[in-house]
C-alpha cells in the first residue's frame, strides 16, 4: 500500500515540475536574466527542473512495477500501449516519458546537433506535457476524489497563462495568436466533455482496461480493511 501511495504522489509531483519546466521554456527563461541573476543560472535552473522530473518519474515507474497491485512491467514504461493494465492510458505515460528523454538527451547534445535540429526536437518533445496530463487523468486513481483533477486544471491554467505571455510579444503574428487561441479552446472543450463521461464517471476502471482480477482484489482488500 505504501508503494501505491508513493506512485501516486511522485506522479503528481512530476506533473507539477514538468509544468514548471514547460512554463519556463514557453515564456523564455532567459528574459529574466539580470546582473544579479546571470543567464547561466537561469538556464541551469530550467535544466535542473527537467532533470528532477526524470528522477521523480524514475521513482514513479519503479514503485508502479514493484508494487504488485497492477500487472505493470518495466518494459511498459518505455514501450507504449503494450501493457495488460489500462494499455491506452499507461501507454500515454510511456510515450510522455520517451518524449521527455528525447528532450533531455538532445539538450545535452545541443552543441553537436546544431540549433535547427535541436529546436525541432525540443518543440516536438514539449508534447510530453499534454500527453502526461491525459495519462494522469486517465490512469490516476484520484480523479473522482477531486484533488488530482484540480491539480491538473491548475497546471493547465499555468501553461495557458504562459502561452498568453509568450504571444503578447510583438513578434507574434495575428495568425499565430488566433491559431493558439483556437487550439486552447478546442482542448478545453474536449477536456470538459471527456472528464465527466470518462475518468469521473462510474465504472471507469473497467472501461480503461483494468484487468478483472485486479478490480476484484482491490474490492476485496477494501472490504477487509473496513471490516472491524
The residue written with cell numbers 475518468 in the block is: 199
209 neighbors 89 (Cβ within 8 angstroms): yes
pLDDT for res 121? 77
Q: Which residue, 103, 91, 127, 118, is CA-closest to 51?
A: 103
Q: Which residue, 144, 149, 141, 62, is CA-closest to 97?
A: 62
pLDDT for res 33? 58
User: Rounded to the nearest 10 degrees, how much is the dihedral formed by the CA atoms of 79, 84, 89, 92?
Assistant: 0
State which residues of the chain have pLDDT below 70: 28-43, 125, 141, 170-171, 213-228
pLDDT for res 21? 86
pLDDT for res 79? 93
In angstroms, rounded to a whole number, what is the distance separating the alpha carbons of residues 160 and 154? 10
In angstroms, rounded to a whole number, what is the distance separating the alpha carbons of residues 59 and 216? 27
pLDDT for res 167? 84
Residue 194 C-alpha cell reads as 471527456
130 neighbors 84 (Cβ within 8 angstroms): no
Amino acid at each position: 500500500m505504501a508503494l501505491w501511495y508513493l506512485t501516486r504522489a511522485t506522479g503528481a509531483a512530476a506533473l507539477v515540475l514538468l509544468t514548471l519546466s514547460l512554463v519556463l521554456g514557453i515564456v523564455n527563461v532567459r528574459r529574466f536574466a539580470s546582473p544579479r541573476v546571470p543567464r547561466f543560472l537561469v538556464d541551469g535552473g530550467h535544466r535542473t527542473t527537467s532533470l528532477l522530473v526524470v528522477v521523480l518519474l524514475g521513482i514513479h515507474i519503479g514503485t508502479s512495477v514493484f508494487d504488485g497491485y497492477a500487472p505493470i512491467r518495466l518494459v511498459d514504461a518505455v514501450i507504449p500501449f503494450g501493457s495488460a493494465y489500462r494499455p491506452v492510458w499507461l501507454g500515454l505515460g510511456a510515450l510522455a516519458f520517451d518524449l521527455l528523454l528525447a528532450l533531455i538527451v538532445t539538450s545535452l547534445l545541443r552543441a553537436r546537433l546544431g540549433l535547427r535540429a535541436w529546436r525541432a526536437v525540443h518543440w516536438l518533445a514539449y508534447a510530453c506535457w499534454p500527453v502526461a496530463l491525459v495519462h494522469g487523468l486517465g490512469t490516476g486513481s484520484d480523479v473522482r476524489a477531486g484533488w488530482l483533477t484540480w491539480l491538473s486544471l491548475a497546471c493547465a491554467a499555468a501553461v495557458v497563462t504562459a502561452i498568453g505571455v509568450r504571444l503578447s510579444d510583438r513578434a507574434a503574428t495575428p495568425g499565430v495568436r488566433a491559431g493558439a487561441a483556437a487550439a486552447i479552446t478546442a482542448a478545453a472543450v474536449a477536456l470538459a466533455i471527456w472528464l465527466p463521461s470518462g475518468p469521473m464517471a462510474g465504472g471507469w476502471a473497467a472501461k480503461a482496461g483494468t484487468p478483472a482480477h485486479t478490480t476484484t482484489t482491490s474490492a476485496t482488500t477494501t472490504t477487509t480493511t473496513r471490516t472491524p
